[in-house]
Structure 1
Amino acid sequence: MALPWALAVLSLLPLLDAQSPACPNFSVPITNASLDQISGKGYYIAWAYRFPEFKKEASEIHAAFYYLTPNHTEDTILLREYMTMRGQCIYNSSNLRVHRENATLSKYENGTEHYGHLLFPKDPKTFMVAYFPEDKQNMGLAFFADKPEVTQEQMEQFYDYLTCMGMDKSEVVYTDEKKNLCLPLEKQHEEERRKEKERSETGTALD
């Protein structure tokens, strides 16, 4: 009877696979190519956090975008964030540490180093960061994309990962680009960097 039972189980595998969302792989090492993939400007699309500190701050964010500038040799990423919260634009600049082998990024905040698992779904224009994936009480998942609006297919990839981690759609908080108040500050910073670059190039030419 063992063989018929085994065959019956095997016949069900395609069906089970079709119904179960693909779980995120937390063990894919970070490479220069993957760092380049997330570099540049991107947008916070949605997140679900159970860790109280993350959950509280995220509930106050209406819209957010960022710039990531990786340093391959030092294994760091310069993060510049523009967040619309509490009716104003909040700008932050910080450095993330890259831990290539265990596929995590970390950031010091309030004296604590917080770790997040960098995840790459099928669509290369998106990525996710998972927090405390083994801790049901504190786990979280954040979704990022290169545009403020994502397709339904891209969103479904986020939902699949969320479900596989054991979280629910009802826990998700979404951003709204229409509430973005940071465009004037972004423009100001771009102008400042342009002038700084011109001064630097002029100085180099004079030398």
Structure 2
Amino acid sequence: MAVVRVSAVLSLVVLLPAAAFPCGAPRPQRPDNTTALKLLGTWLYVAGAAQFPQHLLEMLLIDHGHLHVEPHAGEQELLITQRVAVGDQCLANNSTYFEIAVGNSTLVKHAKTHQTVGMLMNLSSEDVLLIQYQLQRERTYLGLYLYARNLSVSTAHWEEFEHHATCLGLSEEEIVYAPWKTELCQTKETEKGNSPRMEPAAAVTASPPLGTHQPGSAGN
């Protein structure tokens, strides 16, 4: 039953774009003529934060995961294939895509309904992705997903993610860091015989190396 519920995480849920950006938080990414090239390839799942209790529980069940971004319908749409490891299963989903429109935000949309399900935020590095979402139920629930090119995320990027979470009203208890204890889900680079950009220690844990910032985790 829990594995079925995790499918909500795979599709980034049915969400509405966030309207406010408090605390000087990162703004929605404004595309330019190099945006598509920057997004292509594999992004490793590092952490998530959610106010909605069910989504928080689902994130606690995920050991590791990744996004693979590739051209879809021209330069303005990029297909997102998402895989997450839950228990002894690797669950896959390709129901969402990036929509890139010059002068507009870079949005994550559902492939069938074309409904906005997330928004890509600007960060200080091209090696990290931050997707912000807003879920409307009996009240508004906010959340974030953090992805990176490799799992050796710098102290500055951890702090940037945590600062943005705090600005959205997300507490430390609502942040979950992927443990990366197994290698159940293979990236497309691995399937093709190439190794993704991942330092040896990062294959075991998503936490930074010893001596650097150690984030707290609701999952530990």
Question: Does the pair score TM above 0.5?
Answer: yes
Unaligned runs of 5+ in 1: 1-19, 192-207
Of 71-80 and 169-178, the range deviating more from structure 2? 71-80
- Where 1:178 maps in the other structure, the secondary structure is coil
Is 1:64 paired with 2:65? yes
* Deviation, structure 1 residue 186: 5.0
Q: Secondary structure at the match of 1:132?
A: strand
Q: Could you tell me how far apart the structure 1 residues matched to 2:117 and 2:93 are?
A: 18
- Give runs of aligned pairs for residues 4-23 of structure 1, distance below 5 A: 22-23=24-25
CA change 1:129–1:187 in 2 (3 A) is: closer
Hey, what's the Cα distance between the residues in 2 that align with 1:95 and 1:112?
9
- Aligned equivalent of 1:141: 144
Please say if residues 62 and 180 of structure 1, whose CA atoms lie closer than 8 Å, have aligned partners that are also in contact.
Answer: no
Residues 153-172 of structure 1 aligned to structure 2 (within 5 Å): 153-172=156-175
Partner amino acid for 1:179?
A: T
Q: CA deviation at 1:61?
A: 1.2
Q: 1:113 to 1:168 in 2, by over 3 A?
A: same
Coordinate RMSD, CA, aligned:
3.1
Compared with structure 1, are the counterparts of its residues 69 and 113 closer, same or farther at alpha carbon in structure 2 (3 Å cutoff)?
A: same
Deviates more, 1:161-170 or 1:38-47: 161-170
Distance 1:140 1:57, change over 3 A: same
Q: Report the Cα offset of residue 56 of structure 1.
A: 4.4
Q: How high is the sequence identity, in percent, across the aligned residues? A: 21
**What per-residue deviation string (whole Å, max 9, x for no partner) do you get for residues 137-195 of structure 1?**
31111111000231222111101111122212221011122323123x8578537xxxx
Count the aligned residue pairs: 169
Which structure has greater helix proportion?
Answer: 1
Find the residue that maps to 1:121 and give its secondary structure.
coil
Amino acid at match of 1:103: T
Give the Cα separation in 2 of the matches to 1:32 and 1:52.
39
Counterpart of 1:180 in structure 2: which amino acid? E
Aligned to 2:85: 84
TM-score (norm 2): 0.64
Q: Unmatched 5+ residue regions in structure 2? A: 1-21, 194-220
TM-score normalized with structure 1 length = 0.68
CA distance in 1, matches of 2:49, 2:151: 18
Runs ≥4 residues deviating over 6 A = 133-136
Q: 1:130 & 1:175 partners in 2: Cα distance?
A: 17
Structure 1 residue 25 corresponds to structure 2 residue 27: yes
Aligned counterpart in structure 1 of residue 108 of structure 2, from 102, 105, 110: 105
Which is greater in Rg? 1
